[in-house]
C-alpha cells in the first residue's frame, strides 16, 4: 500500500513538473516564436490588404459571421458580464443562446430568414427564435387535433416547457408541431427522414443538374403552406393556434400575449402592413416606384 501511495506521489509530482515545463516554455522560448510570427504577420500586412480588397464579398460574409463570435467580459467588480459583441450594438445582450442544431430550414435560409416585409421582419425573426419554421409555415389540417411540443435547440430532443425557467423569449428551446400522418404514431414535422433528405441535398447540391435541384427543392418544400400562419392566428382570444397553456405558459403570460396591448398592436400592424406580407412581391414593387 505504501508503495502505491509513493508511486502516486511521484506521478503527481511528474505532472507538476510537466506543468512547470509548459509554463516556462510559454513565457520564454514560445515568446520568441510568437514575436517571430507577429513580425511575419506585419510583413504580410500589405499582402493581406490586397487580398482583402479582392475578397470584399468574403469579408462581408466574415464580418457578419465573426461579429457574433467576438466575446467580451465586462468586469464590474462585484459581477462579470460575459457576452457576444456585436459591432455597433449599444445595449448589452448578457446571455448566450446556442445555435438551433435541429432545424434544417436555417441551413439554407439562415437564422434570421425574414427580410421581405420591412415593417415586420424583426417581429417575425423574433418569433423564429423560439418557434420552429414549420410551426407557422406548415399546416396539417384535417389530420386530427394539432399538438405542439418544445424541443431543445442544441440536442433537438423534445423537452419539458422552459417557459417558467427562463425569461420571456430567452428559452434554449423552440416550439414544433407534431404531425398526425394517419399511419403509425404521430411524428414531428421536422422528422429525421426530412432532415436526412434536406441534408443530403445540401451536400450533393453541386453535383446535381438544374432539373434535379428543382425537383429536390420542390420535395423539401412540399409540406410548406402557401399561406403561412399570421400573427392574428395566435394573438387572439377566441381560438389561438398555439395551445399556450399546454405549452407551459402560465396564466399571466397567456393574458399578456393575448392582451389588448399586444392584440391591438397586431391589429395596427395588420391594418398597415399585413396585406403586403400576404403579397410579398408588391412590397418590392412599391419600393421600386
Partner 1 sequence: MSLKRAARLYIVGFIFIVLNFYPSKNLFSADVGNCLLCHKYPGLSRIDEQGKMKLLYVNEDIFNISVHLKVKCEGCHTDIKKIPHDPVNKVDCLVECHIVEPSSEQKFSHKDVDNYVKKSVHAALDKYGMPKKFKEDLPTCKNCHDEPLYRPLSFFKQVRPGISEAALGRCRVCHKKEDFIIRFYNHVTTRLHRTRNPINIAEVCARCHDDPLLVERHNLGTRAVFSYGETFHGKAARFLDERVPDCLDCHVNTGESVHQMLSHKDSAAITYRENKYLACSNIECHPGTSQQFASYKVHAEFNLDQSPVQYYFTLFFIILTGGTLLPLMAIIFLDLIRRLFPDAVIPRRR
Which positions from 8 through 27 interact with partner 1, judged by CB under 8 A? Answer: 10-11, 13-14, 17-18, 20-21, 24-25, 27
4-12, 183-191, 210-218, 244-252 -> range binding partner 1 (CB under 8 A): 4-12
Nearest residue to 132 via CA among 165, 167, 178: 178
Q: Which of 91, 218, 226, 289 is close enough to bind partner 1 by CB under 8 A?
A: 91
* Distance in angstroms (rounded) separating the CA atoms of residues 230 and 270: 9
How far apart are CB 91 and partner 1 at their closest, in Å? 5
Which of 89, 107, 204, 221 binds partner 1 (CB under 8 A)? It is 89
Q: Using CB under 8 A, which of 58, 64, 212, 225 touches partner 1?
A: 64
Nearer Cβ to partner 1 (71/143): 71
**Which residues in 149-168 contact partner 1 (CB under 8 A)?**
167-168
Q: Binding to partner 1 by residue 58, rule CB under 8 A?
A: no
Smallest separation (angstroms) from partner 1 to the CB of 242: 16
The C-alpha torsion from 233 through 235 and 237 to 242, rounded to 10°, is 60
Chain centre distance of CA 160: 19
The nearest distance, CB 31 to partner 1, in angstroms, is 6
Q: Which is nearer to partner 1, 123 or 197 (CB)?
A: 123
Element (H, E) at 83: strand 80-84
- Candidate residues 1, 40, 53, 75; the one interacting with partner 1 per rule CB under 8 A: 75
Beta carbons within 8 Å of 135's beta carbon, 6+ residues apart: 148, 175, 176, 177, 189, 229, 242
3-class secondary-structure state, position 195: helix
Chain center to CA of 123: 15
Rg (CA), the chain: 26
Residue 200 binds partner 1, judged by CB under 8 A: no
Asked if 72 and 85 count as a contact pair (C-beta separation under 8 A), the reply is yes
Query: Site for partner 1 (CB under 8 A): which residue of 78, 203, 260, 285?
Result: 78
Question: Is 258 in contact with 233 (CB distance < 8 Å)?
Answer: no
Site for partner 1 in 107-136 (CB under 8 A): 110, 112, 114-115, 118-119, 121-123, 125-130
Amino acid at each position: 500500500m505504501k508503495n502505491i501511495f509513493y508511486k502516486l506521489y511521484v506521478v503527481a509530482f511528474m505532472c507538476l513538473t510537466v506543468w512547470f515545463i509548459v509554463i516556462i516554455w510559454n513565457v520564454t522560448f514560445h515568446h520568441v516564436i510568437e514575436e517571430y510570427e507577429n513580425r511575419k504577420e506585419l510583413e504580410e500586412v500589405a499582402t493581406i490588404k490586397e487580398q482583402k480588397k479582392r475578397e470584399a464579398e468574403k469579408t462581408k460574409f466574415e464580418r457578419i459571421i465573426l461579429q457574433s463570435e467576438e466575446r467580451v467580459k465586462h468586469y464590474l467588480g462585484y459581477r462579470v458580464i460575459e457576452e457576444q459583441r456585436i459591432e455597433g450594438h449599444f445595449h448589452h445582450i448578457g446571455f448566450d443562446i446556442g445555435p438551433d442544431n435541429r432545424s434544417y430550414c436555417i441551413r439554407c435560409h439562415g437564422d434570421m430568414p425574414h427580410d421581405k416585409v420591412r415593417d415586420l421582419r424583426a417581429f417575425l425573426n423574433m418569433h423564429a427564435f423560439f418557434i420552429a419554421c414549420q410551426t407557422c409555415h406548415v399546416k396539417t389540417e384535417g389530420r386530427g387535433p394539432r399538438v405542439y411540443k418544445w424541443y431543445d435547440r442544441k440536442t433537438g430532443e423534445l423537452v419539458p416547457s422552459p417557459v417558467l425557467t427562463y425569461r420571456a423569449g430567452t428559452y434554449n428551446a423552440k416550439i414544433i408541431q407534431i404531425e398526425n400522418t394517419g399511419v403509425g404514431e404521430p411524428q414531428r414535422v421536422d422528422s429525421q427522414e426530412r432532415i436526412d433528405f434536406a441534408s443530403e441535398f445540401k451536400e450533393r447540391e453541386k453535383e446535381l443538374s438544374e432539373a434535379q435541384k428543382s425537383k429536390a427543392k420542390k420535395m423539401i418544400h412540399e409540406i410548406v403552406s402557401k399561406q403561412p400562419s399570421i400573427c392574428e392566428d395566435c394573438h387572439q382570444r377566441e381560438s389561438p393556434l398555439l395551445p399556450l397553456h399546454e405549452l407551459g405558459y402560465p396564466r399571466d403570460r397567456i393574458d399578456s400575449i393575448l392582451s389588448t396591448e399586444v392584440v391591438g398592436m397586431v391589429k395596427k400592424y395588420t391594418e398597415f402592413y399585413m396585406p403586403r406580407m400576404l403579397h410579398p412581391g408588391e412590397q418590392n414593387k412599391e419600393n421600386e416606384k
